[in-house]
C-alpha cells in the first residue's frame, strides 16, 4: 500500500512539474454532422506567441504539439452570440490544471451567426456539446491522451442552460413563454435578448406588448427537452438562463452540479434564474458568488466595447465598483471542482 501511494504521489508530482512548464496549445477541429468548428485548448510543450483572433491576441502555441495532462476533457459552452476568445482565461486555468478544453461553436447563436438565439438554440446545444467530444476523440493528436468516459461541461449564460440540460434539467419553450408573460417587466432582456432595453420611457409599454406578441407566436411548444449523454460526469453553470426549467428535474441532478452566480446581473435576473436553480437543487454547490458582479463574470477577457451593439454594451458592462481581479480565483475554483469530480 505504501509503495502504491508513493507511486501515485510521485506520478502526481511529475505531472504537476510538467504542466508547470507547459504552454497552452490552440487548434480548431471541424465539427461533425454540419456543426461549426470546435476550438480546442490543451497542454503543449511548443513555444507560445500572441495570435490575432479578432480583437484578441491570446498567447498560445498555435497547432502546437499536445502533451499528456490529466486525461480529462471539459466542454465549454459559450453564451449567446459568443466566441472562444472571451473564455481564454478560464480555458487557461483548466489547461494549467491538466484538462483539454473543447469549445463548440453553437449553431445560430455565435459571434458569426446570431440568427437563432434563445429556445431555438437551446434545443441544439446539448447535442453539439456531445459531438464536440466525438470530434476531439477522433483526432489523432488527442485520442491517445484522453479518457472520454468522464467529461466535464461548463457554460456561461446560454451555455449555462446547456450545462443544466446535460446535468438532467428538462425545459420547454412554453415554460419560457409563461415566464415572460408573468415577468416581462422585471426580466425583460431574458425574454428579448439584445433587441432593445426598457429605459423607463414612454415606449416601454409598447416594447413589452410587442415582445409578448412575438414570443406567443414562436414559443408555445409544451415538449420537455432534455439530453442524456453518460460521458458527462460533472457540470458548472455560470449565470445560467434557467427560468424555463422544470424545477423538479433539477432537484436531484444526475451528475454533480455547481453554479457561479452574480448579484447584479442585468441580463438574467438572478431571482428567476440562478437563484431558482439553487432553491430547487439542495445538492448543488455554489462554488463562487460575486455580489457586485454582472452578467459578464465568466467573460475574460471582456470583448472591447467597439465590437458590441449598444444594448450588449450595457448588459455586459461590469457594474460600477466591480473588481475583475477576483476572476482568476473563480477560474481556479471551477478547475478545482472538475478535479474533484472527474479525476480518479
- Per-residue model confidence as pLDDT tens digits over 266-303: 999 999 999 999 999 989 999 999 999 999 999 999 99
Q: What is the pLDDT of residue 20?
A: 66
Of all helices (H) and strands (E), which one includes residue 61?
strand 59-62
Task: Band the pLDDT of 11: cuts 50, 70, 90.
Answer: very low
N-to-C CA span, the chain: 17
Q: What is the pLDDT of residue 93?
A: 98
Whether the pLDDT of residue 226 is over 60: the answer is yes
Identify the residue with better confidence: 234 or 344.
234
Alpha-carbon distance values, 156 to 50, 170, 202, 213 (Å) = 25, 18, 33, 28
CA dihedral (226, 229, 234, 239) positive or negative = negative
Residues 6+ apart with CB under 8 A from 14: none
| Residue 46 phi, psi dihedral angles, 5° rounding | -90, 155
Write down the H helix ranges in the chain. Answer: 2-20, 88-96, 119-122, 125-137, 158-166, 173-183, 188-192, 204-218, 274-280, 310-316, 327-342
Whether the pLDDT of residue 13 is over 50: the answer is no
Please count the other Cβ atoms lying within 10 Å of the Cβ belonging to residue 162: 34
Q: What is the pLDDT of residue 344?
A: 80
Task: Band the pLDDT of 21: cuts 50, 70, 90.
Answer: confident
Task: Band the pLDDT of 6: cuts 50, 70, 90.
Answer: low
Cα–Cα distance, 224 to 242 (Å, whole number): 14
**Mean pLDDT value across residues 202-218:** 95
**Mean pLDDT value across residues 57-82:** 97
Q: What is the pLDDT of residue 8?
A: 40
Whether the pLDDT of residue 228 is over 90: the answer is yes
Q: Which of 12-26, 31-45, 76-90, 203-217 has the lowest mean pLDDT?
A: 12-26
Cα–Cα distance, 66 to 82 (Å, whole number): 26
**Mean pLDDT value across residues 236-251:** 97
What's the mean pLDDT when you consider all of the chain? 94
**Residue among 292, 334, 282 nearest 317 (CA):** 292
| pTM for this prediction | 0.93
Amino acid at each position: 500500500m505504501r509503495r502504491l501511494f508513493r507511486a501515485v504521489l510521485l506520478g502526481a508530482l511529475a505531472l504537476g512539474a510538467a504542466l508547470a512548464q507547459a504552454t497552452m496549445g490552440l487548434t480548431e477541429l471541424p465539427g461533425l454532422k454540419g456543426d461549426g468548428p470546435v476550438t480546442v485548448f490543451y497542454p503543449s510543450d511548443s513555444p507560445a506567441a500572441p495570435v490575432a483572433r479578432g480583437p484578441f491576441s491570446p498567447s498560445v502555441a498555435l497547432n502546437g504539439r499536445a502533451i499528456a495532462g490529466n486525461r480529462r476533457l471539459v466542454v465549454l459552452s459559450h453564451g449567446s452570440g459568443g466566441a472562444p476568445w472571451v473564455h481564454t482565461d478560464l480555458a487557461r486555468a483548466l489547461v494549467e490544471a491538466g484538462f483539454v478544453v473543447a469549445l463548440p461553436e453553437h449553431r445560430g447563436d455565435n459571434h458569426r451567426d446570431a440568427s437563432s438565439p434563445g429556445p431555438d438554440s437551446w434545443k441544439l446545444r446539448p447535442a453539439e456539446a456531445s459531438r464536440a467530444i466525438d470530434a476531439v476523440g477522433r483526432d489523432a493528436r488527442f485520442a491517445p491522451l484522453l479518457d472520454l468516459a468522464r467529461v466535464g461541461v461548463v457554460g456561461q449564460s446560454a451555455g449555462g442552460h446547456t450545462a443544466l440540460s446535460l446535468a438532467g434539467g428538462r425545459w420547454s419553450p412554453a415554460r419560457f413563454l409563461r415566464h415572460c408573460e408573468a415577468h416581462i417587466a422585471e426580466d425583460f432582456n431574458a425574454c428579448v435578448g439584445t433587441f432593445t432595453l426598457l429605459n423607463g420611457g414612454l415606449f416601454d409599454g409598447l416594447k413589452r406588448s410587442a415582445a409578448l406578441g412575438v414570443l406567443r407566436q414562436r414559443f408555445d411548444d409544451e415538449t420537455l427537452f432534455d439530453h442524456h449523454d453518460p460521458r458527462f460526469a460533472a457540470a458548472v453553470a455560470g449565470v445560467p438562463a434557467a427560468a424555463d426549467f422544470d424545477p423538479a428535474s433539477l432537484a436531484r441532478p444526475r451528475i454533480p452540479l455547481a453554479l457561479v452566480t452574480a448579484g447584479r446581473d442585468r441580463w438574467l435576473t438572478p431571482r428567476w434564474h440562478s437563484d431558482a436553480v439553487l432553491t430547487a437543487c439542495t445538492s448543488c454547490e455554489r462554488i463562487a458568488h460575486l455580489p457586485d458582479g454582472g452578467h459578464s463574470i465568466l467573460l475574460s477577457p471582456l470583448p472591447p466595447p467597439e465590437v458590441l451593439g449598444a444594448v450588449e454594451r450595457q448588459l455586459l458592462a461590469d457594474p460600477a465598483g466591480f473588481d475583475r481581479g477576483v476572476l482568476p480565483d473563480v477560474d481556479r475554483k471551477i478547475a478545482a471542482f472538475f478535479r474533484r469530480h472527474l479525476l480518479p
